[in-house]
């Protein structure tokens, strides 16, 4: 019986070794087509954001297109071919080419990703009254308008609760060179929940249960003569 038990153990050990070798031959073999993992980009889209507010940002009118012009010029800008085939898009296509001529590193798709991130950062910082975060993102005169609105809100002892539910779209509606400055105007269509409360915590504006759709038209600029790659917000308006 002792001999039988010893042989039994050896037999089962051989069976186990055979199974392990078979599994390794099937599952442990690399084909060369495995997907490599990669870190998520800092500009990944937030597709499923929830519980986010309508924020009334200070407007600075100027050379940005009117809401009527913006509506006429909206189009899909996923490719240069699409831009140049659109009647209203020919001037925009030329403007983008002029910017690329002045700045070879300019990429339309990358710019739009950055513009969406900047939009969210500005809206969030304004609602929080965070002037330190706003200043590097805005032109001097635009920052003065935003800063003044924040001070007025603080003097009234009000707080702004802003939730960005989603950025539905971000489309370039104008682009070109202004002397040595590249300027790109983007139309943002977003959904917000916006609530203003007084010092007692009572709602004085907005409704936490209502999501509002807002169209903001922002113009970004960058001096192509300097090495600083950052764009600043120089004009804001809203068609709402």
Per residue in 149-184, pLDDT (tens digit) is 999 999 999 999 999 999 999 999 999 999 899 999
pTM above 0.85, yes or no: no
Q: Which of 125, 124, 95 is nearest to 111 (CA)?
A: 95
CB 230 within 8 A of CB 197: no
- Cα 110 to Cα 31, 106, 122, 221: the distances in Å are 33, 8, 18, 15
d(CA 115, CA 5): 74
pLDDT greater than 80 at residue 26: no
* Domain that residue 192 falls in: 67-238
Does residue 16 lie within any of the structural domains? no
Strands (E), the chain: 159-178, 181-197, 203-206, 212-223, 232-238
Question: Which pLDDT score, from 0 to 100, does residue 11 have?
Answer: 67
Q: Which of the four pLDDT bands, split at 50, 70 and 90, describes residue 14?
A: confident
pLDDT greater than 60 at residue 2: no
Question: Which pLDDT score, from 0 to 100, does residue 203 have?
Answer: 94
Average pLDDT over residues 189-213: 94
Encoded tokens for 200? 């007692």
Question: Which pLDDT score, from 0 to 100, does residue 50 have?
Answer: 31
How many independent structural domains does the chain possess? Answer: 1
Mean per-residue pLDDT of the chain? 76
Secondary structure class of 181 (helix, strand, coil): strand
CB 210 within 8 A of CB 195: no
pLDDT greater than 90 at residue 127: yes
Does residue 5 lie within any of the structural domains? no
Average pLDDT over residues 124-134: 96
pLDDT in tens, 108-124: 999 999 999 999 999 99
Q: Which of 121, 129, 65 is nearest to 92 (CA)?
A: 65
pLDDT greater than 80 at residue 239: no
- Classify residue 32 by its DSSP letter: S
Q: Which of 138, 167, 136, 117 is nearest to 60 (CA)?
A: 138
Q: Which of 41-50, 71-80, 226-235 has the lowest mean pLDDT?
A: 41-50
Does residue 192 lie within any of the structural domains? yes
CA contacts within 13 A on the Cβ side of 224: 18
The more confidently predicted of residues 91 and 43 is: 91
Does residue 140 lie within any of the structural domains? yes
- Enumerate the β-bridge partners of residue 178: 181
CATH number of the domain enclosing 163: 3.10.450.240
pLDDT greater than 60 at residue 135: yes
DSSP of 59-77, one letter per residue? Answer: PB-SSSPPHHHHHHH----
Does residue 217 lie within any of the structural domains? yes
CB 127 within 8 A of CB 158: no
Does residue 44 lie within any of the structural domains? no
Does residue 49 lie within any of the structural domains? no
Q: Which of the four pLDDT bands, split at 50, 70 and 90, describes residue 6?
A: low
Does residue 210 lie within any of the structural domains? yes
pLDDT greater than 70 at residue 68: no
């Amino acid at each position: 019986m002792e001999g039988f038990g010893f042989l039994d153990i050896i037999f089962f050990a051989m069976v186990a070794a055979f199974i392990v070798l078979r599994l390794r031959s099937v599952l442990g073999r690399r084909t060369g087509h495995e997907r490599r993992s990669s870190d998520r980009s800092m500009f990944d889209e937030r597709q499923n954001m929830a519980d986010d507010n309508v924020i009334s940002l200070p407007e600075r009118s100027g050379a940005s297109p009117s809401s009527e012009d913006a509506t006429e010029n909206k189009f899909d800008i996923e490719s240069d071919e699409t831009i140049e085939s659109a009647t209203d898009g020919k001037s925009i296509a030329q403007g983008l080419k002029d910017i690329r001529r002045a700045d070879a590193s300019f990429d339309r798709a990358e710019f739009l990703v950055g513009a969406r991130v900047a939009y969210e950062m500005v809206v969030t910082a304004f609602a929080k009254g965070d002037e330190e975060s706003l200043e590097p993102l805005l032109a001097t005169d635009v920052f003065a308008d935003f800063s003044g609105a924040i001070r007025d809100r603080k003097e009234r002892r009000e707080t702004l609760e802003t939730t960005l539910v989603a950025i539905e779209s971000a489309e370039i509606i104008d682009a070109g060179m202004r002397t040595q400055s590249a300027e790109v105007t983007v139309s943002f269509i977003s959904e917000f929940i916006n609530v203003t409360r007084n010092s007692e915590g009572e709602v004085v504006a907005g409704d936490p249960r209502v999501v509002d759709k807002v169209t903001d038209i922002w113009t970004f600029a960058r001096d192509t003569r300097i090495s600083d790659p950052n764009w600043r917000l120089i004009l804001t308006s809203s068609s709402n």
